[in-house]
Amino acid sequence: MKYYGTKNNKDYGFYEENFDNAVEITDEYWLELLSLQSEGKRIIPYNNNVLAIDENEYTQEDGVWKKLSAEEAKVKQLNIQNEIRKEEIKTEMEELDKKRIRALAEPSLKDEETTWLEYYNTQITALRDELTSIS
């Protein structure tokens, strides 16, 4: 048998010995939980049990885990995706800024009508618009 819980009211983990408020689990379930954790799931205490969850399906409020409704989970996942995209946009803009500096220092045409600076400025404007729309 294994025991899941916290001894310091902060850090949760698996233990060989029982202690106050620990949840007892079988060795087989412990191995299953570890396998799920290695696949990206998070292990949490929930209703006197131990679960491996996708974090966008649950939220923690005042130290207690709560299962989200389908709509709440959808909103949480969208917020996560938006934050990831915001970081991607910022990285792309930084790379374009480097290219714009070079375009200023070495003016030349991308094609017959467009300079490289104009081209990069157009790309950055589109990224800024996207960033504004998801902020």
pLDDT along the chain (135 residues), means of 10: 87 90 93 94 88 85 84 89 94 94 86 91 96 91
**DSSP code of 131?**
H
For residue 128, the number of C-alpha atoms closer than 13 Å in the C-beta half-sphere is: 9
Q: So what's the pLDDT on residue 66?
A: 86
Please give the Cα distance from 4 to 22 (Å, whole number): 5
Domain edges within the chain? 2-66, 69-134
CA 109, distance to chain mean position in Å, is 40
| pLDDT given at position 131 | 94
Residues 6+ apart with CB under 8 A from 67: 46, 57, 58
